[in-house]
Chain A
Amino acid sequence: MEGLKRFIADFGLPRLIIAVFLFLLFAVAPFVGVSLPAAISDTLIRVGMNGIMVLAMIPMIQSGCGLNFGLSLGVIAGLLGSTISIEMGLVGLLGFLMAVLLSQGFGAAFGFGYGKLLNRVKGGEMMIATYVGFSSVMIMSIAWLVLPYKSPTMIWGFAGTGLRTTISVEGFWRHILDDFLAIQIADFKFPTGAILVFLLVALAVWAFFHLKLGTAVTAVGSNPIYAKASGISVNKMRIVSVMMSTMLGALGIVVFQQSFGFIQLYDGPLYMAFPAVAAILIGGASVNKATLTHVFLGTLLYQGILTMTPSIFNAVMKVDMSDVIRIIVSNGMILYALTRKTKVAK
Chain B
Amino acid sequence: MNSKLRLFLIENAVVILFIILIAFAIPVSELPAGFLLQEILMRIGPNAFLVIALLLPIMAGMGLNFGMVLGAMAGQIGLIFITDWGIVGIPGVLLAMIISLPISVFLGWVCGSIMNLAKGREMVTGFILAFFMNGIYMIVVLYAMGSIIPILNPELLLSRGYGIRNVVGLDGVRQSLDNLIPLKFNLSFLTPPFVKVPIFCFVIVALVCLFIVWFRKTKLGQDMRAVGQDRAVADAAGIPVERTRILAIIISTALAGIGQVIFLQTMGTINTTASHEQIGMFSIAALLIGGASVTRASIPNVLIGVILFHLLFLVSPMAGKNLVGSAQLGEFFRQSVSYGVIAVALVLYEWKRQTQEHESRADLRGETEPAKKAGGAA
Contacts and interface: CB of A to CB of B under 8 A. Distances in A.
B139 interface: yes
Interface in A37-78: 64-66, 69
B124 A123 contact: no
A63 to B, nearest CB: 9
A147 interface: no
B127 A138 contact: no
A124 B293 CA distance: 15
Contacts of A223: 374
A146 B324 contact: yes
A334 B372 CA distance: 24
Interface string B310-341: 00000000000000101011001101100110
A125 B377 CA distance: 7
A302 to B, nearest CB: 15
Interface stretch (A209-217, A252-260, A325-333): A325-333
A327 B343 contact: no
Contacts of B24: none
Contacts of B369: 228
Given A120-B347, A145-B332, A324-B138, A138 B339 contact: yes
Interface stretch (A15-23, A84-92, A335-343): A335-343
Contact of B124 (A130, A134, A221): A130
Interface string A122-165: 11111110111011001101100110000000000000001000
Contacts of A125: 377-378
B132 interface: yes
Contacts of B139: 321, 324
A159 to B, nearest CB: 9
Given A127-B123, A328-B135, A332-B132, A224 B333 contact: no
Contact of A127 (B114, B143, B346, B374): B346
A343 B373 CA distance: 13
A331 B143 contact: no
Interface stretch (B72-80, B263-271, B348-356): B348-356
A221 B129 CA distance: 26
Interface string A204-246: 0000000000000000011111001000001000000000000
Given A127-B346, A132-B343, A139 B128 contact: no
A34 interface: no
- Range of interface residues on A (Cβ < 8 Å): 35 or more
Contact of A222 (B120, B127, B134, B375): B375
A324 B132 CA distance: 9
Contacts of A342: 375-376
Nearest to B371: A225
Nearest to A139: B336
B contacts with A: majority SS: helix
A141 B134 contact: no
B128 A334 contact: yes
Interface residues of B, number: 49
B377 to A, nearest CB: 4
Interface string A287-323: 1100000000000000000000000000000010101
A126 B346 CA distance: 11
B128 A338 contact: yes
A142 B329 contact: yes
B375 to A, nearest CB: 5
Nearest to A277: B128
A121 interface: yes
B253 to A, nearest CB: 17
Nearest to A323: B138
Contact of B378 (A124, A234, A266): A124
B375 A131 contact: no
B329 A131 contact: no
Contacts of B243: none
Given A222-B375, A328-B135, A141 B127 contact: no
Contacts of A334: 128, 132
B374 A130 contact: no
Contacts of A123: 120, 350, 353-354, 372-373, 376-378
B55 interface: no
Given A145-B332, A335-B114, A126 B138 contact: no
B121 interface: yes
Given A125-B377, A131-B339, A142 B350 contact: no
Contacts of A131: 339-340, 342-343, 346
A127 B345 CA distance: 11
Nearest to B273: A323
B335 A138 contact: yes
B313 to A, nearest CB: 14
B135 A324 contact: yes
A121 B346 CA distance: 9
Contacts of B332: 138-139, 141-142, 145, 266
A121 B139 CA distance: 37
B18 to A, nearest CB: 15
B206 interface: no
A341 to B, nearest CB: 9
A142 B335 CA distance: 10
A252 to B, nearest CB: 22
A120 B124 contact: no
Contacts of A132: 343
A197 interface: no
A327 B134 contact: yes
B374 A128 contact: no
Which interface residue of B131, B376, B378 has the most chain A CB atoms within 10 A? B378
A98 interface: no
B143 A124 contact: no
Closest 3 CB pairs of A and B: A138-B336, A327-B135, A121-B350
Given A128-B346, A139-B332, 10 more contacts: A65-B377, A122-B350, A128-B347, A130-B127, A131-B340, A131-B346, A135-B340, A138-B332, A138-B340, A339-B125
15 contacts: A64-B375, A124-B350, A126-B121, A127-B121, A128-B350, A138-B333, A138-B339, A139-B332, A146-B324, A225-B372, A327-B132, A327-B138, A331-B131, A335-B129, A342-B376
